[in-house]
């Protein structure tokens, strides 16, 4: 009788032993947490950047009183609709990190199912903004639906490993592509006015969020400088121009720092994403790229805190 009672427990333990090792859990959770974190931070940063562009363009408009523009575009082309694709991409990456985190660290089936549903929704939405006809293929659907289907079951470690592997196999390439799309928005184009003239190169990438911020900052800096050189302005006008010049210079410094960090971040995210499947398949494999990615995320957040004073 005792043996019969013990048998299910022995079986469960033996099955659980086939799950994620401590190292694998740590690596998956580290990648997932870093991906979630950078996606959240960058979403906030894009929204903050838009507010800063609006303030710069407001000052530019005031100082251009002698030669007003033909149209008023306070967001400098960085409208809410204009960054919807970037925000959707970041939400997809954030939800990818969330589902992996839930599978690696959370035993609650309901929470896992909710994260899985959200990931499918966000991932499809992000891709449909670029291709209205995009639909998840059966392989991608099944990789996630299998997770949703076990809400009421005992979620043993072996199952976690199986589903993490299925999801990473199905989405790894696409996640890498989504990460690559962010490069244009997190790094300056090669001939940017916010890059030292001696270091500028022939433009090969597309203009992104940070370039629009740069254009506004550079225009305000130049205009404010001109006002300060002229003699026919009141004290209030010169003070406004001076404050605008300082604001623009601070913006250019911030842009330079964030662009440098952004380039490294996208590169390390791609490398870490490429290593994730190997981490799951090989019990004792440790990916330095995942550690480097997590460290880069921490550095980016530190720089943002320093630049924003938060």
What does the alpha-carbon distance between residue 60 and residue 224 come to, in Å, rounded to a whole number?
8
| pLDDT, tens digit, 9 for 90 and up, residues 4-17 | 444 444 444 444 45
What does the alpha-carbon distance between residue 188 and residue 258 come to, in Å, rounded to a whole number?
9
CB atoms within 10 A of CB 62: 13
% pLDDT > 90, the chain: 27
pLDDT for 96 beyond 90 = yes
The band of 3, judged by pLDDT with boundaries at 50, 70 and 90, is very low
Mean pLDDT highest for which of 41-55, 100-114, 238-252?
A: 238-252
Taking the whole predicted model, whether its pTM rises above 0.75 is answered as yes
Q: Which of 70-74, 95-99, 279-283 has the lowest mean pLDDT?
A: 70-74
| pLDDT, tens digit, 9 for 90 and up, residues 111-150 | 888 899 999 999 999 999 888 898 989 999 999 888 876 5
Residue range 26-42: mean pLDDT, rounded: 90
From the centroid of its chain, how far is CA 116?
19
pLDDT for 28 beyond 80 = yes
Chain mean pLDDT for the chain:
82
pLDDT score, position 10: 42
Angle between helices 157-181 and 2-16 (to 10 degrees): 20
The band of 52, judged by pLDDT with boundaries at 50, 70 and 90, is very high
pLDDT score, position 219: 92
| Closest to 166 (Cα-Cα) out of 154, 153, 178, 149 | 149
pLDDT score, position 216: 92
Query: 117 near 147, Cβ under 8 Å?
Result: no
Query: 113 near 147, Cβ under 8 Å?
Result: yes
Beta-carbon contacts of 99 under 8 Å, excluding residues fewer than 6 positions away, are: 112, 115, 116, 118, 119, 144, 147, 167
| pLDDT, tens digit, 9 for 90 and up, residues 171-213 | 999 999 888 888 888 888 888 878 888 888 888 878 888 888 9
């Amino acid at each position: 009788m005792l043996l019969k009672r013990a048998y299910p427990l022995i079986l469960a333990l033996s099955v659980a032993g086939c799950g994620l090792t401590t190292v694998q859990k740590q690596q998956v959770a580290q990648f997932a947490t870093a991906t979630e974190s950078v996606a959240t931070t960058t979403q906030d940063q894009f929204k903050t950047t838009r507010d800063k562009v609006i303030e710069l363009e407001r000052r530019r408009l005031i100082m251009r009183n002698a030669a007003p523009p033909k149209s008023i575009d306070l967001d400098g082309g960085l409208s809410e609709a204009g960054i919807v694709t970037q925000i959707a991409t970041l939400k997809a990456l954030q939800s990818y990190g969330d589902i992996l985190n839930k599978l690696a660290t959370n035993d609650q089936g309901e929470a896992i199912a909710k994260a899985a549903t959200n990931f499918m929704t966000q991932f499809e939405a992000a891709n449909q903004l670029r291709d209205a006809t995009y639909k998840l293929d059966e392989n991608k659907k099944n990789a996630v639906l299998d997770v949703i289907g076990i809400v009421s079951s005992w979620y043993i470690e072996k199952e976690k490993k199986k589903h993490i592997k299925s999801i990473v196999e199905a989405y790894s390439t696409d996640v890498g592509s989504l990460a690559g799309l962010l490069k244009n928005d997190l790094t300056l184009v090669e001939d940017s006015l916010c890059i030292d003239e001696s270091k500028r190169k022939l433009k090969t990438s597309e203009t992104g969020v940070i370039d629009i911020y740069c254009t506004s900052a550079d225009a305000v800096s130049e205009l404010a400088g001109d006002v300060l050189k002229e003699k026919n302005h009141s004290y209030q006008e010169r003070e406004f121009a001076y404050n605008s010049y300082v604001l623009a210079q601070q913006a250019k410094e911030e842009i330079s720092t964030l662009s440098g960090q952004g380039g490294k971040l996208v590169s390390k995210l791609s490398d870490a994403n490429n290593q994730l499947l190997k981490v799951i398949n090989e019990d004792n494999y440790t990916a330095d790229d995942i550690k480097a990615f997590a460290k880069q995320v921490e550095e980016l957040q530190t720089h943002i805190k320093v630049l924003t004073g938060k």
